[in-house]
Amino acid sequence: MPSTDVDLMVDLPKDAQSILNLAARSLFDVFANASEGMLLVDRSGRVVWINDQYRRYLPALGFAREEDFVGQPVSSVVQNTLMHQVLETGKPILIDLLDNKAGTFVVSRYPLRDDAGRVIGALGVVLFDQPQSNLQPLMAKFALMQRELDEARDALAVQRRSNTGLRQAKHSFASFVGGSAVVADLKRQARRAAQSSSPILLLGETGTGKELLAHAIHAASPRARGPLVSVNIAAVPETLLEAEFFGVAPGAYTGADRKGREGKFKLADGGTLFLDEIGDMPLGLQAKLLRALQESEFEALGSNRLEHFDARVIAATSRDLAQLVREGRFREDLYYRLNVLPLRVPPLRDRASDIPALLEVVTEELAMRNALPQPEFTSQAVALLSAQHWRGNVRELRNVLEQLLLRCDGSLIDDKAVALVLQDSGLRQIAAPVNLPASSGTHRSADASTLLRPLGEQVRELETRAIEAALQATSGNKLAAAKLLGMSRAKLYQCLR
C-alpha cells in the first residue's frame, strides 16, 4: 500500500523536516515581499495582520487607521471576500477575481492548519492590483458581468421598495441608460460615492439625468432602506423655503397648523436628502443650511428647540457654482461643504453612441404609457437623431420621441419624420440628411444645399468633426480622446489614418 503525504512527512529525518519548515517560511516571505498585499485572519474570521503593501488599500476601503481595520471580521471590512469559505471548507482558492471599493484584484486564498491538521486561520494574497496585459480580457469581462449583476440587483431592490408606498428611490443604476466610456466611468464613481456618507454634488446641464442618478446613488447606499426626500429649490417660493427645509412649530404664526409641520430635513432622517437646483438658493438661507449640515441639527420655524437629524445630502445644479461664488451669489463655505464628492454628468452630445439604446428604452416606455405599439427607426433616422446637439439633453430627446410616437401612423419612423418634428419644434438641425417638407404653410425650395447626400459620406464627416473636437478638448492626448469618444485607441488610430 503506497504511503500518503502525511506518512512521508512523519518519516522525514530531522534535517529534512527543518528544510521543509524553512521552505514554508521562505515561501511566506516571498509572498509578503513580491505580492501586492497580504492579509491573515484567525479561525473566527477576524483580521489579525496585514503587510505594508496591503496598508495602501485601507483609505479606499474606508479606513484611516490600521487599528480600525485589524481586529474586525474580514467580511465587514473587505467587500465580497471569500475568506470565510476557505475557513469553512479548508480548501484553498488558488485564483479568483475580487471586486470591491478599492478596485478589482487577482487574489489567492489559503487555509492555515496546526500540527493536528485543524484549520486555524487563512491567508489572503493579492497577486495583481492592476489589469495585466494577458489578464485584461478576463478582467474586462468580469467587470462587465459584475456591473450588470449589480444593476440587476439594484433594479429589483428598487422595484420591491417602491411597492411599499414610502419615500423611496424610483430608479437604480440600470435606469441610467448607456454603455459609453463616459457613462461607465460615471457609474463606477457614483457606486463608490454611494458607499460613503459624505455630501455629493451632481453637476451637469439641464436634462442630463441628475435626479435619476441621485435616486440610483440612494438605492445603492447603506441608507437604501431609509427615506429619499427631494426638494426642488427653484420650484419653492423664497418666503416658504425655510419652512420647507426645517418645518414649522405649532402656532408659529397666524394661520399656522396647530400640530405644526415637519420639514424635509426631519422627513429625511435616516435616509437621503436631495437638494435639486442648489444654485438657486437665496443667500439668506444658505447660512442656515450650512449650519444645519455642519452641526446635524436645526430649529423649526417659530421654535427655540434644537432637533437633530441624520441624513446624507446629495445636491445638484446646472449652474456654475464656482462662478456664483466669485460673483458673491453663493457662499464659499457652503460650496466647499457640498463639493466633497463632485460627479459631473455628461451631456448627451458627449455620449452620442448611447442614443440608439436610449431610443429603444424611451420609446418602449412611451408606447406602454400611451397604449401604442413600439416603433422602429430606420438607420437614417437614428443617424439624424445622433447628430443633433441636444441642448436639452435626454429630456429634449424624450420630448422629440414622444412627438414622433404620437404623430407617426406607421410602425417605422424614418429620417423625413424626424426632420419634420425637429423643424416644427424649432430645433437647429445638424447635418440633416433630407429635404425638409413644407410645414405650417412655410414653403422650402429644394436647392443644391439641401439635396440628399450619401449617408456614409455624412457619417464620415461627423466622425472627423467629432475626432477633431475630442483631440482639441484633450490637447492632443489620443488615449483621452478615445475614452471621450467611447472608442478604443486602435479604432481612433484607424480613423486618423
Between CA 158 and CA 173 the distance in angstroms is: 10
How far apart, in Å, are the Cα atoms of 402 and each of 151, 354, 396, 405, 456?
27, 18, 10, 5, 28
C-alpha cell read off for 409: 401612423
Higher pLDDT, 256 or 437: 256
pLDDT at position 335 is 94
How crowded is residue 260: how many other Cβ atoms within 10 Å of its Cβ? 17
Higher pLDDT, 75 or 15: 75
DSSP state of 248: B
Is residue 82 predicted with pLDDT exceeding 80?
yes
The residue-averaged pLDDT of 359-381 equals 89
The residue-averaged pLDDT of 140-145 equals 64
User: Best-predicted range by mean pLDDT among 1-15, 90-104, 246-260, 479-493?
Assistant: 90-104
The residue-averaged pLDDT of 276-286 equals 91
Between CA 167 and CA 271 the distance in angstroms is: 10
Between CA 490 and CA 479 the distance in angstroms is: 10
C-alpha cell read off for 10: 512523519
Higher pLDDT, 148 or 381: 381
DSSP helix/strand/coil, 98: strand
C-alpha cell read off for 50: 496585514
Higher pLDDT, 350 or 35: 350
User: Best-predicted range by mean pLDDT among 131-145, 250-264, 374-388?
Assistant: 374-388
Q: Which residue in 312, 283, 285, 282 sits closest to 296, CA to CA?
A: 312
The residue-averaged pLDDT of 73-98 equals 89
DSSP helix/strand/coil, 48: strand
The residue-averaged pLDDT of 107-119 equals 88
Q: Which residue in 469, 461, 467, 472 sits closest to 492, CA to CA?
A: 467
User: Best-predicted range by mean pLDDT among 159-173, 242-256, 344-358?
Assistant: 344-358
- The rounded percent of the chain whose pLDDT value lies above 90 is 31
- Residue 46, CA atoms < 13 Å, CB-side half-sphere: 7
Is residue 337 predicted with pLDDT exceeding 80?
yes
Between CA 268 and CA 312 the distance in angstroms is: 8
Is residue 2 predicted with pLDDT exceeding 60?
no
DSSP helix/strand/coil, 241: helix
The residue-averaged pLDDT of 113-120 equals 87
Asked if 68 contacts 55 with a C-beta cutoff of 8 angstroms, the reply is no
Asked if 312 contacts 229 with a C-beta cutoff of 8 angstroms, the reply is no
pLDDT at position 33 is 72
Give the list of residues 6+ apart from residue 93 with CB closer than 8 angstroms, or none. 82, 85, 86, 107, 108, 109
Is residue 15 predicted with pLDDT exceeding 90?
no
Q: Could you tell me the sign of the dihedral formed by the alpha carbons of 342, 348, 354, 360, in that order?
A: positive
Distance of CA 34 to the CA centre of its chain: 34
DSSP state of 180: S
Q: Could you tell me the sign of the dihedral formed by the alpha carbons of 133, 138, 142, 148, in that order?
A: positive
DSSP state of 439: B
Q: At what angle do helices 181-194 and 478-485 cross, to 10 degrees?
A: 80
Give the pLDDT confidence of 468-484 residue by residue, as tens digits.
777 776 767 777 777 77
Higher pLDDT, 456 or 178: 178
pLDDT at position 257 is 58
pLDDT at position 14 is 57
Categorize the per-residue pLDDT at 6 as very low, low, confident or very high, splitting at 50, 70 and 90: very low
**Pairing label, strands 37-42, 47-50:** antiparallel
pLDDT at position 342 is 94
pLDDT at position 312 is 92
Q: Would the pTM of this model clear 0.75, i.e. be above it?
A: no
Give the pLDDT confidence of 313-334 residue by residue, as tens digits.
999 999 999 999 999 999 999 9
Give the list of residues 6+ apart from residue 182 with CB closer than 8 angstroms, or none. 346, 350, 351, 483, 484, 486
C-alpha cell read off for 369: 404609457
What residues form DSSP beta bridges with 439?
442
Q: Which domains does the chain have, with CATH numbers?
A: 13-130 (3.30.450.20), 148-253+261-344 (3.40.50.300), 348-439 (1.10.8.60), 457-496 (1.10.10)
Higher pLDDT, 434 or 299: 299
How crowded is residue 190: how many other Cβ atoms within 10 Å of its Cβ? 21
Q: 3-state DSSP helix/strand/coil percent for the chain, to nearest 5? A: 50, 15, 35
Asked if 270 contacts 310 with a C-beta cutoff of 8 angstroms, the reply is yes
pLDDT at position 469 is 76
- The rounded percent of the chain whose pLDDT value lies above 70 is 77
Between CA 342 and CA 475 the distance in angstroms is: 23
The residue-averaged pLDDT of 340-347 equals 94
pLDDT at position 313 is 94
Instruction: Give me the chain's average pLDDT, please.
Output: 80
Is residue 9 predicted with pLDDT exceeding 60?
no
Between CA 57 and CA 101 the distance in angstroms is: 9
Give the list of residues 6+ apart from residue 45 with CB closer than 8 angstroms, or none. 73, 74, 75, 83, 84, 87
C-alpha cell read off for 5: 503525504
The residue-averaged pLDDT of 403-410 equals 87
Categorize the per-residue pLDDT at 450 as very low, low, confident or very high, splitting at 50, 70 and 90: very low
H-run or E-run covering 229:
strand 228-232
pLDDT at position 158 is 53
pLDDT at position 217 is 93
Q: Which residue has the cell 463639493?
A: 339
Give the pLDDT confidence of 192-241 residue by residue, as tens digits.
999 888 999 999 999 999 999 999 999 888 888 889 999 999 888 888 88
Between CA 123 and CA 42 the distance in angstroms is: 9
The residue-averaged pLDDT of 87-101 equals 86
Amino acid at 346: P
Categorize the per-residue pLDDT at 436 as very low, low, confident or very high, splitting at 50, 70 and 90: very low
Higher pLDDT, 258 or 111: 111
Is residue 255 predicted with pLDDT exceeding 70?
no
